[in-house]
Amino acid sequence: MALLAILQYPDERLHKVARPVQTVDERIRTLAADMAETMYEARGIGLAATQVDVHERVVVIDLSEERNALMVLVNPVITHKEGQTVYEEGCLSVPGIYDKVTRAERITAEYLDLDGNRQTIDTDGLLAICIQHEIDHLDGKVFVEYLSPLKQNRIRTKIKKRNREA
């Protein structure tokens, strides 16, 4: 396994739309393992392949405290949304920035597992938020794009200033 570099907002590569995975093979399993290691190292709960400059539809998520409940979603698609909820989100590609985003409260999603089998999940709460957030990455969207233009500009300015000081 290897640690991967996480792209930082406003890197334009974060806006590339990921292409579907054609075959779940050893290359995809290795990518998922590397993404999981990267996510754990960065103390995140989710990571999309787009964030590590791989533009294929792969997501890793682990909401457990023990870091032992890894979910890998290949070609995830939300097939049903219901309700609305507001949740304060953060992102490994936008470190140190948190803000409220409105998303569906409950979702149904379909995806392939690491054996290439089709799976369906009905969920709500943090897992539903996380799946929506990560699929947004695959579609080239970062959570700050849900915020007002003023907030987006402030975030860009803050990140540029932080990068200059680093």
Query: What is the rounded distance in angstroms from the CA atom of residue 165 to the CA atom of residue 75?
Result: 38
- Are 51 and 15 contacting, i.e. CB atoms less than 8 angstroms apart? no
Annotated catalytic, 89?
A: no
**Which residues touch 22 (CB under 8 Å, ≥6 apart)?**
none
Q: Which of 82, 134, 145, 165 is catalytic?
A: 134
For residue 57, which amino acid is it? Answer: R
- Are 76 and 24 contacting, i.e. CB atoms less than 8 angstroms apart? no
Residue 133 labeled ligand binder = yes
Query: Starting from the edge strand earliest in sequence, which strands make up the sheet with 118-124, in order?
Result: 46-48, 58-61, 71-82, 106-112, 118-124
Helix (H) / strand (E) containing 31: helix 26-41
Of the chain, the end-to-end C-alpha distance in Å amounts to 28
Residue 80 labeled ligand binder = no
- Are 107 and 78 contacting, i.e. CB atoms less than 8 angstroms apart? yes
Residue 15 labeled ligand binder = no
Would you list which residues are annotated within the binding site?
91, 133, 137
Q: Which residues are catalytic?
A: 134
Would you list which residues are annotated within the binding site for Fe cation?
91, 133, 137
